[in-house]
Amino acid sequence: MELSKLFEGFSERYKNIILFQPIFQLSQSKDPKYTHLNLMEIGIAVLLMMLERMLTGQSKISPEHINLFLQKLLKERYDIQMNSSEVNEFRSYLIDDKLRNSGRKFINHYIDLATGEEKVHSFDLITYDDFSYKNLKEKNLYLKLTQEGIELLFKTKEMFAEMQISITMLYFKQQLDKGMFTQALAAVEELKLQIQTQINTIVKYENDIRSNALTMFKRNELEKKYKDSYEQTKQEKGQLNDLRLNVDEVKANYIAGQLSRKERKAYDQVLQIEKELTSCIAKHELLFIRKFELLKTLTSSLQLLIENAFSKHLHFKQEILESWVEKKINQSKARDILKAVTPIKVNKFYNPFSAYDSQYVKKKRHEEDQVEDTLDDSTLANHREMLEQEKEDVYKKEMEALSIILSPLKEKSRYFLSDTIKELKAEQPERYTHLQEVLLKHFLNISIKIHRSPYKAFDPIPPEELPFEPDENRMMATLGRQHPELEELEGFEVISTERVVEFDKGVIVTDYIIERKIN
């Protein structure tokens, strides 16, 4: 292998890694006053506090701010009390001497292995915010993280992309305030790309949630992750509106008088920035809505988990219903007990007395009728035919998946779903491949439906009742007609377990026990 190809981009990698050097040097401190403290932990904590204040647009960071933060941190996390003089001395040692390197840049000499050249890289993690000699004389100095300091923190965070939008907005505002419109325009274009990238990942998150709803996952961790993400997006909405006001102010400065050629060029850039920022705000609103919908998806998935957990530990008929009958539990008490575990969403059923209710037409349906009136008959017929074809195709695929799940009941009284999948893979590899490539989504859907369905039998359904039956009930009746052995059964049970079924593509779902019902 050629070394030049192996070490391509070496300089960039080295610069990214060397940013951590000042942090690790804190752990090598030899000052006897602070050997009992983990300076590396405390240093990272201070950097995180500074980043938080910068991202949320709070007041500038003074040495007094850092002193107060250190006092609170030492008291609450290390049970150490420091007076104002002690904490000021500690802050000076930690920040000024170590993380700011006594005001000097951190300098590193290295050889770029890609080119063989000797290079020098220098950087700061913390610098002065709006430094002036007047402020120095009056001791009104403020600190901020440099771009390298910000990058250092976000390179250590798992969800780096989640905060990229806030970082880019911070950089955009800095360039706008400096009048560097070319850089500001590049930043707002990058911001739009980052928002679109997050929108694209939402679909993946939703699929992850749906898959995990069929497995065992840490509810609190996942719920907190997506709630934090949603709250972050809410904060970004306000920050974007503030940026729009900043652009309006810059724009107003140019409108006030006659413009030179150079000013006209800058004004054109401001107009382009305004256009791109408006596009960013629109895209970000879409991102906000998608994340809200993502949380709703998570909530419904958690409801399914609760129901699964209940079915794992209790056989309702044997362990509860028979006990209630023996103890003569009345209807009112039974309702109170069941209320906590009854699904929020209840399957609809036909009530014949609803024929006497007042009739109404939903607005959404009315709007659809208006749209349909504008279409010619042939287009409308084709559209309806296409929808019917799609619905029929889904029905056939779910029917095929259900056949894979329930057919072993012809010969077995009890089996694991995972064993059926293993047998299918070993004995009918082509059908297993078809299941993975074509039927997997429908396999997951129908497995959820039959697990949650109160009706689990292969009895025939009278023709007059067919239109009112769910798809899964009609599928089971069809299986009963196709396989007389199934129709003869009293029914079956689907019980979730702690085991999982893992497909070759990495999809993991809960394993079920499927067993014949015995009266």
C-beta atoms surrounding 41 within 10 Å: 14
Q: What are phi and psi of 126, to 5 degrees?
A: -130, 140
Q: Which residue, among 81, 84, 79, has the nearest Cα to 67 in the 3D structure?
A: 84
State how beta strands 126-128 and 143-145 pair.
antiparallel
Q: Round to whole Å and give the CA distance between 509 and 418.
A: 10
Partnered with residue 501 across adjacent β-strands are 509
Give me the amino acid identity at 114.
A
Phi-psi category of residue 475: left, alpha or beta, with phi > 0 → left and psi -120 to 50 → alpha? alpha
Cβ pair 198, 287 in contact under 8 A? yes
Task: State pLDDT tens for residues 181-192.
Answer: 888 888 888 888
**CA dist 73 to 33, 76, 130, 141, 148, Å?**
18, 5, 27, 23, 25
List per-residue pLDDT tens for the chain, 519 residues long.
Answer: 567 778 888 888 899 899 999 999 998 877 888 888 999 999 999 999 998 887 666 668 999 999 999 999 999 999 999 999 999 999 999 999 999 999 899 999 999 988 889 999 999 999 988 755 555 555 668 898 888 888 788 777 544 455 678 778 887 888 888 888 888 888 888 888 778 878 877 766 666 655 554 444 445 565 666 677 777 788 888 888 888 888 888 888 777 566 777 888 888 888 899 888 988 888 888 888 887 777 766 665 555 544 454 444 455 665 566 666 666 677 777 777 676 666 656 666 666 666 666 665 555 444 444 444 444 567 667 767 888 888 888 899 999 999 999 999 999 999 999 899 999 999 998 998 898 888 888 888 888 888 888 888 888 888 878 777 888 889 999 999 999 888 888 889 988 887 888 888 777 777 889 998 875
Polymer length of the chain: 519
Cβ pair 21, 106 in contact under 8 A? yes
Q: Which domains does the chain have, with CATH numbers?
A: 1-156 (no CATH), 160-313 (1.20.58), 396-516 (no CATH)
Give me the amino acid identity at 369.
D
Model pTM score: 0.40
Q: Describe the crossing of helices 147-155 and 39-55 by its angle, rounded to 10 degrees.
A: 110
